[in-house]
Amino acid sequence: MLDMAILGLLEEKDLHGYEIRRQLRDNLGILANVSFGSIYPALSRLEKTGAVVATEDQATPATDASAPAPPTGSLSGELAVLRARRHTPTRSRRGKKVYRITEKGRLVFTELLAESGSVDDARSFGLKVAFARHLAPQARLTLLERRRAILVQRLAEAGAHNPDLDVYARSVVQHTADSVTQDITWLDRLIATERATFHPAAAELTYEGDIR
Amino acid sequence: MLDMAILGLLEEKDLHGYEIRRQLRDNLGILANVSFGSIYPALSRLEKTGAVVATEDQATPATDASAPAPPTGSLSGELAVLRARRHTPTRSRRGKKVYRITEKGRLVFTELLAESGSVDDARSFGLKVAFARHLAPQARLTLLERRRAILVQRLAEAGAHNPDLDVYARSVVQHTADSVTQDITWLDRLIATERATFHPAAAELTYEGDIR
DNA sequence: ATTTCATTATATCGGTTCGATATAGCGTTG
DNA sequence: CAACGCTATATCGAACCGATATAATGAAAT
């Protein structure tokens, strides 16, 4: 799921891991404050499958420290340099690895965005919606309806609130149900808007029709 | 986190894995439909640390099939029995492993419930609230306030919604923020009730006072 | 009667995410 | 110039999920 979001960001411009996290955090705020422990493995995955390529940070103007053995005079200094080298063979001086999306990556992104899965989780669904502008109107509508169906079903199954629950359990269950209800309302608004823009004229005719 | 919930259920009565899942699903419904891939490892964990003990299913009244070599006359029948025995050396006939909470388990439960962590995640927090009746009034209040503080901070950090977001991203972010706001409102109600029951008389005096 | 099916029941596997931790370069500020 | 905070990458263990395998049981269908 993170993969999709990362590819979505890289579609706009090349970024490195730290920036990706910032973008997610700053732009999508509450929805996606993702850990580095997720970001970097995700980038490795994507690189391994060829969806992205890691390029060196070309912006290394001042203080060229790539000399083989800078005679610092300090032994510990030299050792530190070597240790750093050993640990970061492919990285540039600043240690920035800028990632660029490939053609395959663009394909993968489209697939991930359009695939039927990843709708059960609120987080994953939210991320999909956040990048829904890359979807065809039809696929967008389908996505929203699929999520709606899941929430409705979940609400129905939870159903009749158990009477032998104490105040706290009942309260939290009720509140969760209310949240889901609000989610559905939100989806209904989105779906309505979506339908209106899709066929603005025949809106009243095709209304409530043959959904599969 | 699951550990706490499981111990909470076992505090009421002995249960086996399948039942634990059902209880969570049926009672807490939407909030906690937990996978078996979480339940069974959790039970193993708890057993390993001695928080629970696995007992045999003693309820095997009718059709006593524990005879060493029931003369079924059918060879395949005998073989089936033996194969079942081989695969389930510690399990009873039905394969049920009923878990009972230990004294240490009760202690662990109290600790898990009272610990300051596991409040960032909506799920974990929900589960804690669901078992909040086992908490002291003070600890209960603290739990609710801690969660509230986190949500408020999260909302503040998300802050000024980015203007250069498209309709979809903006919509999902806004909706998420609304949900969090509703969560806070809910918490406020709970906190108010909690305070009222804690010191019913001085409610108006200590009102809006020295929260840490 | 027996096959078939749904339910009950336990268990493991691979993959994803998180939180914590380690490391280090860099810029600002005291 | 030392201390601090931000930028930046990376890895680790633990938790959880979804899928899958296995098997016993009971009821319904044939």
Work out the number of other CB atoms within 10 angstroms of the CB of residue A53.
14
Question: Which A residues between 16 and 35 have a beta carbon under 7 A from any strand C atom?
Answer: 34-35
Residue A61 CA to nucleotide D3 C1', Å? 27
**Cα of A96 to nearest chain B Cα, Å:** 26
Residue A104: its pLDDT value, please? 97
Mean pLDDT of chain B: 82
Residue B102 CB contacts under 8 Å (≥ 6 apart), including other chains:
B50, B51, B52, B53
Render pLDDT for B58-106 as a digit per residue (tens, 0 to 9): 554 433 333 344 444 444 444 344 334 333 333 444 568 999 999 999 9
Residue A93: its pLDDT value, please? 44
Q: Across the interface, do B173 and A133 touch by the CB < 8 Å criterion?
A: no
Cα(B25)–Cα(B5) distance, rounded to whole angstroms?
Answer: 12
Residue A169 CA to nucleotide D13 C1', Å? 32
Q: Does A184 touch chain B (CB under 8 A)?
A: no
Stronger pLDDT, A95 or B53, i.e. the higher one: B53
**Cα of A52 to nearest chain B Cα, Å:** 23
Which residue of B lies nearest to A130 if distances are taken between CA atoms? B169
SS3 A55: strand
Residue A89: its pLDDT value, please? 33
Residue B144 CB contacts under 8 Å (≥ 6 apart), including other chains:
B129, B187, B190, B191, B194
Which residues in chain B have their CB less than 8 angstroms from residue A176's CB?
Answer: 29-31, 126
Residue B180 CB contacts under 8 Å (≥ 6 apart), including other chains:
A30, B151, B154, B155
Write the CATH number of the domain with boundaries A1-57+96-116: 1.10.10.10
In CATH, the architecture of B2-57+96-114 is Orthogonal Bundle (1.10)
Nearest nucleotide to A90, CA against C1' atoms: D9
Q: What is the 3-state secondary structure (H, E, C) of A128-144?
A: HHHCHHHCCHHHHHHHH
Render pLDDT for B97-112 as a digit per residue (tens, 0 to 9): 999 999 999 999 999 9
Residue B49 CA to nucleotide D7 C1', Å? 41
Work out the number of other CB atoms within 10 angstroms of the CB of residue B73.
7
Cα(A70)–Cα(A105) distance, rounded to whole angstroms?
Answer: 40
Residue A64, pLDDT above cutoff 70 = no
Handedness of CA B114, A175, A142, A157 (dihedral sign): positive
Handedness of CA B25, B30, B36, B40 (dihedral sign): negative
For the segment A149-157, the average pLDDT, to the nearest whole number, is 93
Q: Does B53 touch chain A (CB under 8 A)?
A: no
Work out the number of other CB atoms within 10 angstroms of the CB of residue A140.
23
Return the minimum-mean-pLDDT range out of A131-135, B95-99, B143-147, B183-187. Answer: B95-99
| Window 67-86 of A, Cβ < 8 Å to B | none
Domain ranges of chain A: 1-57+96-116, 63-95, 136-212
Cα dihedral B148/B149/B152/B154 (nearest 10): -110
Return the minimum-mean-pLDDT range out of A11-15, B12-16, B85-89. Answer: B85-89
Q: In what order do the strands lie in the sheet with B97-101?
A: B15-16, B97-101, B52-56
Return the minimum-mean-pLDDT range out of A42-56, A151-165, B11-25, B112-126. Answer: A151-165
Render pLDDT for B118-149 as a digit per residue (tens, 0 to 9): 899 999 999 999 999 999 999 999 999 999 99
Q: Does B31 touch chain A (CB under 8 A)?
A: yes
